[in-house]
Amino acid sequence: MKSEEFLTNPLLAPSSLPFGAPAFNLIKEEHYLPAFEAAIAYAKEEVDAIASCPDAPTFANTVEALEYSGQDLSRVEGIFFNLLEADSTPGMEEIADKVSPMLTSFSIYVSMNEALFSRVRTVYEEYGAKVFEGLSKEQKRLLEDTYLSFKRGGAFLEGEDRKEFSETMEDLSLLQLSFSNNSLAATKEFSMLLTFPDEIAGLPDYVLEDAVNLARENAEVGWMFNLDRPSYSPFMKFSSRRDLREKMWRAYNTRAIGGHYDNCSNIRQIISGRMKIASLLGYGTFADFALERRMAGSTEAVEKFLSSLLDPSLAAARKEVADLTAFARKNGFDDDTIMPWDFAYWSEKYQKALFDIDETLLKPYFPMEESLNAVFSLAGTLYGITFEKRDDIPGYHPDVRVYDVLDTDGGHLALFYVDPFPRKSKRGGAWMTEFMGQYSFGGKDHRPFISIVTNFSKPSPDSPSLLTHDELTTLLHEFGHSLHGMLSRCRYPSQAGTNVARDFVELPSQIMENWAFEKEFLDSFAKHYKTGEKIPSELIKGLLESRNFQAAYLQVRQLQFGILDMAWHTLREMPADVDPVEFEKNALSHCETLPRIGGTAVSPTFGHIFSGGYSAGYYSYKWAEVLEADAFSLFQERGIFDKDTASSFRKNILERGSSEDEMVSYVAFRGHEPEVDALLRKLGII
């Protein structure tokens, strides 16, 4: 029975806004904890009702009923944890510390519920004996996934093993949250204020404008830089002060190593906890456990995949570094070795010399508003959808704008929340998420609430928000994820939208990046924000010619992340007091392309694998690049705006979610399975 909280708490009460949108204008910090408590209590009642049902177990009254349970809790989680990343407060962080073990406890309450599992097992074995006779492909997949989730959730464990599993899962939830909080705090902790003209040598006007604004926001006078990407990246690329670049680089690459926000202990405990979980469930390593339900399927397959890309790429990457060093020495660099804090600076100059391409010349042609509208227009051309801004639906912050997404027939598809600019309450980077995913129930198609969060430079008094070409590519990437959520047409929530195998989820995002390099698309919108002049053909030519500039180096960099991830998650026993800095050094010693600097590492802020969903899964970015390279070649053959190809991609990839095996979906679109060489050819490595 639902409590009074469901009538009064804006996180739980029915929304009066169009499409039942979240009432962000009414939600306050004090609403979160009571909402979690009430939603968890009711979700337990739903589970208990299924487990104690007097009728014989069936697919409908057990598996399907469990799938649709907990919707209220999902709604509260969707809002709270997304805002914890995008618009956090110290109070919310305290709430997260309280609710994370509550949620873990509830998850264990479900996964180790003996009566519930008995019913699921009965249904699974009954249908399994008949080869799932009478079930649709979506139902068959749901039954298999539900049974496996119980197995992976410890349902077969007994006695002390069951207790240890539960305690370890609860510990991991808190450790991962602590890791994320420390990473954010360590990033925000550092800033560098410059006050003398010689300290800003080489920095373009737009970078200086942003730096002045950042200083002003922090009640300082001068030029301020921090470790958020819109500030850090251009400084490293353009500052001619090598000493200051080194200072920034060291600050960035020593985040959460020692000090108040140290994550080294968290890493040791997270890896130990994951090893324990894998062992209790009968897996050799955590990677074996994690990869069971992914396209790759096994640790051996992932390691073979990474090697198949690394072997041809590493020699090419080292040659690219040697070529860059030679260029730098010819142009005033007086050292024998390019250091990590030199790489972006000299790469920018080398790229400009080779291709006459200059980020500062490109940026005025990519105002954020026009770029966003162009991305909307591209989606319209490909999929027939349109975006209408809705000022009557509140966002969670004044920067957030809300759009109603309409299908080809004018019907409502989704709400789309866009949160473009950095702030102290938002973590760095860019991501897509959802406040509510799509699903069908009781004859009604529940349409999703999708969000995209970025950290693009804010408008200044003198100019609008302008994107670098890399940021335009990022916008297209995250928008691809958004399309996956918005266009979903699935029956079950666990199969809808981006709820696909981790090594498949990046296909819809990475394929969209290709349009950032298509002249026909760029010509459609790229105009100088001051003059209205169309982007010159020579700039596009240089951009396209430079697309594979240092492609091998960048590929090896991504492969290093994947190799490091697998090194952590294929451990079979934890060395005593392992030092994450030394561990990382040893794991990557065979594939370094730049000198490794003592005392620095990425592991202590590698949120993808220690607090996100990519543990033993970072390889999936490259896996999806292989899929994407092969898939986009079909658009290239038929035309980058070909509606039939787009329609097939929508039907077979974007709408299906994981309602059937992802490779089956891919082959239905492309006609064959992908090959690694498709990516190597695209990057010009072979």
Q: Nearest to residue 257, comparing CAs of 191, 192, 184, 183?
A: 183
Catalytic residue, from 5, 209, 348, 478: name it: 478
Residues of the chain with pLDDT under 50: none
- Predicted confidence at residue 635, as pLDDT, reads 96
Greatest distance between any 2 Cα atoms in the chain: 82
Pick the CATH number of 364-551+621-682 from 1.10.10.10, 3.20.20.10, 1.10.1370.40, 3.30.390.10: 1.10.1370.40
- Predicted confidence at residue 583, as pLDDT, reads 97
Model confidence over 446-496: pLDDT tens digits? Answer: 999 999 999 999 998 889 999 999 999 999 999 999 999 999 999 999 999
- Predicted confidence at residue 602, as pLDDT, reads 98
Q: What are phi and psi of 577, to 5 degrees?
A: 50, 45
626 vs 619: CA distance, rounded Å: 11
Calculate the dihedral angle through the C-alpha atoms of 87, 93, 98, 101, rounding to the nearest 10 degrees. 80
- Ranges of H-type helices in 3-70: 5-8, 29-51, 65-68
DSSP code of 357? -
- Predicted confidence at residue 131, as pLDDT, reads 65
Q: Nearest to residue 577, comparing CAs of 267, 286, 177, 287?
A: 267
391 vs 412: CA distance, rounded Å: 16
- Predicted confidence at residue 559, as pLDDT, reads 98
Tokens encoding 464: 């609008």
- Predicted confidence at residue 428, as pLDDT, reads 83
- Predicted confidence at residue 288, as pLDDT, reads 97
235-239 LR contacts (CB < 8 Å, sep 24+): 235/203, 235/207, 236/341, 236/344, 236/345, 237/344, 237/345, 237/347, 237/348, 237/359, 238/202, 238/203, 238/204, 238/207, 238/345, 238/348, 238/360, 239/200, 239/201, 239/202, 239/203, 239/345
44 CB-near residues (< 8 Å, 6+ apart): 106, 109
Q: Is 478 a catalytic residue?
A: yes
- Predicted confidence at residue 133, as pLDDT, reads 81
Q: Where in the chain is the domain with CATH 1.10.1370.40?
A: 5-111+113-152, 364-551+621-682
- Predicted confidence at residue 427, as pLDDT, reads 87
CATH 1.10.1370.40 fits 5-111+113-152, yes or no: yes
Confirm if 320 and 557 have CB atoms less than 8 A apart: no
Model confidence over 584-623: pLDDT tens digits? Answer: 999 999 999 999 999 999 999 999 999 988 999 999 999 9
Q: Nearest to residue 78, comparing CAs of 316, 434, 336?
A: 434
Q: Which residues of 36-57 are buried (b: 16+ CB within 10 A; e: fewer)?
A: bbbbbebbbebbeebbebeeeb
The pTM of this model reads: 0.87
- Predicted confidence at residue 17, as pLDDT, reads 98
- Predicted confidence at residue 334, as pLDDT, reads 94
